[in-house]
Structure 1
């Protein structure tokens, strides 16, 4: 009888421990979501932001939010390797409006043998952008935004200043994001890219459809997920699959790691991308 009682007590203890662990995870999720949304005006819904084609600012941004990003990437092309680097600053001057300035660089090196046809290194463009969250619904855990990116395309370093600005890219976009329960996140980012070449006076239009799905780890800002970057260029369709993860290194410092796997690109092979995210003024609650 004593042995039976001990077994029953151990079973009850194990079940109660498991149940408390499950409650703890749920409480962590609820507490972190509440930390972000915290029932202040204006309302804000926690969403996982993709790491490669990122947003201008959090959906439902609140006045005073700001963030620095530094990105480093490597793409293995058939004839040469390309290294990308970017510096961007984003901030919210008023509630629900995000602004961004970005400087993207690209550097090239021969892949195996010397090749005179590789492009010249360059500061690709000066990008300025705005994003307005026009719909934020906490009960539905859904947010929507409209935005616009303008890129002043610059000449490469080999011909720098001849001319200084050689073209412009007009890029309006639409974003809709939905959180499913506490952990699962989905997002669609889409819009046309209209490129104008000042010397030829010609326009070239492509259309991007970027979708992402993420699982956010309980009680943290860490997540794992996948980003699908799709481009339609007349009758040509390209897609790159980008598995990714984000880790919190410090309270106000995050690191994002992205791999790129092209599905239907003729000249591009595997790629990788690293994003450092620093949020000055961010305080743990």
Structure 2
């Protein structure tokens, strides 16, 4: 019998722990669903926005936490097709990784990454046709089901996961879901018909997933929890249930994420804006915060 509580408990207890403090700078994105640049690749519409934003965070010294579903491996058979479609993005992520600033979580759409052997086989190197040999990509990268950011001074914990632990269908039957997506929903998606099993496109499922997650947070002393999966941004006020969601990178014409800087958390959006002279540029918009993390701490 599936239990969201058991799955979230297990993910939290086995989570990879990462220390941070008020000098740390962290950007959290999820649900990029990087595809093969076909008509079904939802990421392709926002890839320039995403690349610009990630380049900004790299230059500003941020660490990058990706909370699952970064790669769309339900619609696509191999990582190689994604790499070829969005190589500039992966090479930028490689720079984060080489500097110890990349923290990766797997979601239901890239659940194959929970197998370290799969990750080592397909993500460690790639073939560079310019020199005719394999070159390093994400050597020794580790994917986790959950990550706990622990403040080195206050002891406050921030629990990061994808969020499908509260979604029985997409956690237990992800292989069946993947089969349906590849055979049925990918071609229908091109015609604009949404997959009804996805909580991001099914409001009733979204509410159920959020309700189960919030119940678990309350039972765990209002543990500050950050997830993705539903694609719906959430930014609670201090005193409310501390359930955050960074949204997704496949919103129409924009991406959303959560920034942690100076011990505070903010919900942000990157989008294309038009200047008075008609020039298009990518801009960062502050949606919520910054709010001190300590305001969410419970004893």
Structure whose CA Rg is larger: 1
Question: Whose helix proportion is higher, 1 or 2?
Answer: 2
Question: Whose strand proportion is higher, 1 or 2?
Answer: 1
TM-score, normalised to structure 1's length? Answer: 0.30
Higher relative contact order (CA 8 A, sep 6+): 2
TM-score, normalised to structure 2's length? Answer: 0.29
